Amino acid sequence: MDILTNPLYKALFNTPVPRLLLLANPPHFTILASNDAHEAASNLLGKNIVGKTPWQIYDPLDTGNHGWLVLLDALVKASETNQRVYIKNYKYDILPSTNNVAASTLWDLEVLPILGNNGEMAYLMATTNNLSERLEREEKMELQIKKKAKADLKEINQRLQFALEAGKLGSFDLDFNTGKIISNEQFKRNYGKPVDAQFHYNDLLESVVPSYKQYLLERIKQAAETNTTCQAEYQIIWPDGSAHWVSIAGKPYLDSNGKMVRMVGVSQDITKQVADKYELLRATETLNQAIDSGGLGLWSADLRTDVLNISPKAKSQHGLKQDEEVTLSESFEMIDSNDREFVSKAFAKALEESSNFDIEYLIHPKDGSNPRWLRSTGRSYEDEFGNLSMVSGTIMDITDQKEEEVRKGQFIGMVGHELKTPLTSLKAYMQLSASYLKYGHYDLIVTTLEKANRQINKMTKLINSFLSVSRLESSLIILDQHPFDFALLVKEIMEEIEVLAIGHPIKLIKGDSVTVHADREKIGQVIFNYISNASKYSTNGTPIHISYEVSDGHLQFGVTDGGIGIKAHHLDKIFGRYYQVNSNPSLKIAGFGISLYLCYKIINRHGGHVWAESQYTKGSSFYFSLPLSL
């Protein structure tokens, strides 16, 4: 027994783990010592078992199992091999201290050989661990975990159901083998079904609008093939005949062969959302049409990065290619140097005061095209921290308006000059007439009054032209339309112009006999203006050709001259109000830029259109067409 006095073995033996020290004398394996933990586990006092064999303590015949054979094999193997033996989860029943009923007990067993003083194996230390108690604790813990998990799952289901009801989401579990759908009440409501009605997969498909049925089946098929969530939006018809929209999101479940057997997911009635989306699309389309028709460009700038985002229209206004980018700073460089400081100050003021801005300025487009006048409006926006972060707004090309303002100013100046000239002459003639009357020169009075009358007629003609423009623009002129012989009208005007001796032979090249339903006087005015305009811009003696014909239900009339011609960039503006072209500055041509504008307005009121064609330095042709049927 010297081993028990060894401090190392003593510390190893007296642990909280049940241990026996046995003599290595097979097949008896006499018990030499038992620690306190073993006594507690086996309900046997050490003094009652020391000197006995394990078979005397636990009678295998009483326990009714073969656990003792496992213990015997372990002891024999350890003594023969002089190696550690470990056996896990073996059963050995013991009698508890409170009754004589054997308790089924599971154990872990470790047998450790120990050498004696002579260096040979003399002892075996058997360490046992009662697994039944641990398993019982684990079972209790597992039961508690399951109980808690069940309670948590119940709470989660309650929360999920609440969320589904709050979001009006229908939940479903579809069995593709049987077609049966297990669902909540909301799912049935989404399809217009009573909550207590049976709902089958075929019922669902029958409710889908035919044009969407194939789409839905393809989405389901795709989900099965890719094993991904099925998402679809489609239109359905409720039993009451009303149309609705639903969306579904379902997870597919496949069998071992990859065939989809189930789908679990949610559905939602999105009828209102779809209606709102289409309404928004219509509003957006209307807005875009309004923006396009109004010639508006859109822009936004990030003040932190200097990045400028502009619409295709705005890029065109700045002479940029559609794939070309520009910063806010670079856009300021395009502004004319005379306007740049003013624009910068107005922009900075708007940012400082967080106010809107509306400014007009001249730019030089990046592509080198003609300068343009732009009107820019916008306002600033703050980020979530209250810092200025973005500016956005609209841009409009107002070049035409600006040029018309200039032309209008010039027109008013010319009108003042043209009216002042006959007024001055008229005043002089009146003074002469008074003088002649005073001194009895009656023969000279007649001549002077005739000259005064010509000045009055000139003023009357000018004033009538201005009144015609004003009335046409305000639609106050009423067209006196009736059928008339167009060829006769052309003949009369040609004869009238020849009497005026305009210095150009007028030749009718082509003319069909045609009856026109229109205002004869105003159409005559257009023809007169066309021929008069051709004479102004042609060298004396060059012919003016007139032609007209019927084509595709329209009368087409044209006047061609061999004059100075018009440059191409003027052709689309030649019929504009106050617009004048003088391709040869050496020619002093009087006019106000309203005769062709009057022609445009008159023909437009008749439902026709006007246009011009020209080769610079070689002559021009002016046309109009009128519909023959009303």
Q: Are residues 364 and 257 in the same domain?
A: no
Give 138's contacts (C-beta < 8 A, 6+ positions apart). none
Classify residue 289: in a domain, yes or no.
no
Q: Are residues 490 and 614 in the same domain?
A: yes
Classify residue 218: in a domain, yes or no.
yes
CATH number at residue 216: 3.30.450.20
Domain extent at residue 65: 2-132
The per-residue pLDDT for 587 is 45
Q: Say if CB 589 and CB 537 are below 8 A apart.
A: yes
Backbone angles phi, psi at 426, to 5 degrees: -60, -40
Q: Are residues 30 and 90 in the same domain?
A: yes
Q: Are residues 443 and 545 in the same domain?
A: no
Q: Which residue, 345, 369, 396, sits at the end of a domain?
A: 396
User: What are the start-end ranges of the H helices in 168-270?
Assistant: 185-190, 201-207, 210-226
- 521/454 Cα distance (integer angstroms): 23
The per-residue pLDDT for 220 is 93
Classify residue 532: in a domain, yes or no.
yes
Classify residue 28: in a domain, yes or no.
yes
DSSP 588: -
Pairing mode, strands 544-551 and 506-511? parallel
Q: Are residues 489 and 613 in the same domain?
A: yes
The per-residue pLDDT for 286 is 73
Q: Are residues 240 and 374 in the same domain?
A: no
Classify residue 85: in a domain, yes or no.
yes
pLDDT along the chain (630 residues), means of 10: 71 82 89 85 79 74 58 86 84 54 67 83 84 75 82 68 65 92 89 90 93 92 92 93 92 92 91 86 73 78 85 88 89 91 87 86 91 89 78 86 70 56 69 78 76 72 63 62 93 79 80 89 89 83 91 92 85 77 48 74 91 89 88
Q: Which residue, 370, 396, 422, sits at the end of a domain?
A: 396
Classify residue 145: in a domain, yes or no.
no
Q: Are residues 237 and 304 in the same domain?
A: no
The per-residue pLDDT for 513 is 84
CA trace torsion 189, 192, 196, 201 (10° rounding): -100
Please state the domain count of the chain.
5
The per-residue pLDDT for 62 is 45
Q: Are residues 488 and 564 in the same domain?
A: yes
The per-residue pLDDT for 510 is 84
Q: Are residues 548 and 597 in the same domain?
A: yes
Q: Are residues 314 and 412 in the same domain?
A: no
The per-residue pLDDT for 63 is 44
* Closest by Cα among 484, 627, 469, 619 to 559: 619
Secondary structure element (H or E) that encloses residue 34, with its range = strand 31-34
Classify residue 116: in a domain, yes or no.
yes
Classify residue 503: in a domain, yes or no.
yes
The per-residue pLDDT for 498 is 74
CATH number at residue 416: 1.10.287.130
The per-residue pLDDT for 603 is 92
The per-residue pLDDT for 79 is 87
Among positive and negative, which fits the CA dihedral 6, 9, 12, 15? Answer: negative
